[in-house]
Structure 1
Amino acid sequence: MGAVILHSVVSVDGFIADENDAVGPLHEWYFAGDTPIIPPPDDQRYDHSGTGSGFRVSSASAGYVREMWESIGTIVMGRTLFDLVNGWEGQPPAGDHVVVVSHRPKPAGWHPEASYHFVDGVPAALAMAKELAGKRTVAVNAGEVGGQALAAGFVDEVAMDVVPVVFGSGKRYFGGIQGQHLLADPHVVIQGEGVLHLKFKVRR
């Protein structure tokens, strides 16, 4: 089985969105550079920015982001994010499968060709995600689902793309997690343009 990584872009004060689920400038670095993450024409297929320019990051970030995305087999996300982005219209930015943690089923008729699975509860979602991913990485979106996965001991690494902005309040990277959870010193520290990439092993 591959690693389970908790991952998201985050403000320096630990928020992945504001109270209204708006990400503000958090994702601007994805489109402000000169190096494509995904070669054309596939970069247009997976461009969910609305800009039509595809994902373009700085050269310092490109190798890290490309390697991360290529390693992902399955993404695990919550129902709130699924509804906000409409499941990326069945075309996730990375991986071949998506598992949505939700008490509600997949919307009727929604992209039947897409490998999206709706599962009630984090443990069952992680079990399915690991099976689907095989030896590839399971990427868990930060927030409530990610915090629950970390608290339950499912997460092997924490990856944070830290953007130099302070939100003050909003949706937390680790959701409503309780208690202390120890991480090792960062084994990846990469300074991009407008973002700092960090990865930590979870201490058992």
Structure 2
Amino acid sequence: MAKLFYTAIASLDGYVADAEGNFDWSMPDPDVHAFANELERGIGTQLMGRKLYEVMKFWEPMYGRKDLPPFIEDYATIWHDAEKIVYSKTLREVDTKRTRIESSFDPVDVGRMKTEATADLSVGGAELAGQALKAGLVDEIHFLVSPVIVGGGKRALPHDVRLNLALLGQRVFPNGVAHLHYRVLNGE
């Protein structure tokens, strides 16, 4: 069975975007970006909400370009190669390859995907990840904690879920970003 990972870049106070919706403070430097690439490399299917898709489709025209820094070229290939499922009630069509739309998040369907997949899956976007966490589908969490406090905004984690976690690893980068890797214990 494949695993489902939730990876997020968050402020120290737990937000993926500030109160105005900005996340410019979270842009990874080359070292952090290369590390994040490694986290995504084995992912066969990326599950994401519409807002995250709108941000991430930036990577589509980057694929195949040779005039970019290596870590950017690398992520463009990772994005291109992954299957992408966008959960949206409003989006009618996509303009990226290997992408399909689902109108709603169905935990049973995602559980079936995990069972049938030959490669791991990731869930992105705080709201969608919150649904997956509530449904008990997330196996591991990777947080890249930025050295900033934004004081409010979009929470990285839902407020109404309690889960026990086991620390699997940690790393601190020279720019102050801390990576925290947890296994979700799901009733253990």
Q: What is the TM-score with the length of structure 1 in the denominator?
A: 0.71
Residues of 1 paired with 2:25 and 2:37: CA distance? 21
Answer whether contact 2:2 2:115 (CA < 8 A) is retained: no
Residue 123 (structure 2) aligns with: 140
Q: 1:187 aligns with which of 143, 165, 168?
A: 168
Answer whether contact 1:16 1:170 (CA < 8 A) is retained: yes
Q: 2:110 aligns with which of 106, 123, 126?
A: 126
Residues of 1 paired with 2:112 and 2:103: CA distance? 11
Q: 1:178 aligns with which of 136, 139, 160?
A: 160
Q: What is the TM-score with the length of structure 2 in the denominator?
A: 0.77
Q: 1:71 aligns with which of 39, 42, 54?
A: 42
Residue 72 (structure 2) aligns with: none
Measured after TM superposition, the shift of residue 65 of structure 1 is 3.2
Residues of 2 paired with 1:81 and 1:142: CA distance? 6
Any idea what the Cα deviations from partners look like across 1:30-64, whole Å, max 9, x if unmatched? xxxxxxxxxxxxxxxxxxxxxxxxxx216xx84x4
Q: Percentage identity across aligned positions?
A: 26
Answer whether contact 1:75 1:99 (CA < 8 A) is retained: yes
- Give the superposed CA RMSD: 2.6
Answer whether contact 1:2 1:135 (CA < 8 A) is retained: yes
Any idea what the Cα deviations from partners look like across 1:80-119, whole Å, max 9, x if unmatched? 22234446447665451111111134427x34xx011111
Q: Which amino acid letter does the alignment assign opposite residue 22 of structure 1? A: N
Measured after TM superposition, the shift of residue 18 of structure 1 is 1.4
Q: Which amino acid letter does the alignment assign opposite residue 76 of structure 1? A: L
3-state SS, counterpart of residue 122 of structure 1: coil
3-state SS, counterpart of residue 106 of structure 2: helix
Any idea what the Cα deviations from partners look like across 1:115-145, whole Å, max 9, x if unmatched? 111112222663575478x222211114110
Aligned residues: 169
Residues of 1 paired with 2:56 and 2:172: CA distance? 28
Can you give the 5+ residue segments of structure 2 that lack an aligned partner in the other structure? Answer: 64-75
Answer whether contact 1:79 1:102 (CA < 8 A) is retained: yes
Answer whether contact 1:151 1:181 (CA < 8 A) is retained: no
Answer whether contact 2:52 2:125 (CA < 8 A) is retained: no
Residues of 2 paired with 1:18 and 1:161: CA distance? 16
Can you give the 5+ residue segments of structure 1 that lack an aligned partner in the other structure? Answer: 30-55
Higher relative contact order (CA closer than 8 Å, sequence separation 6+): 2
Residue 147 (structure 2) aligns with: 164
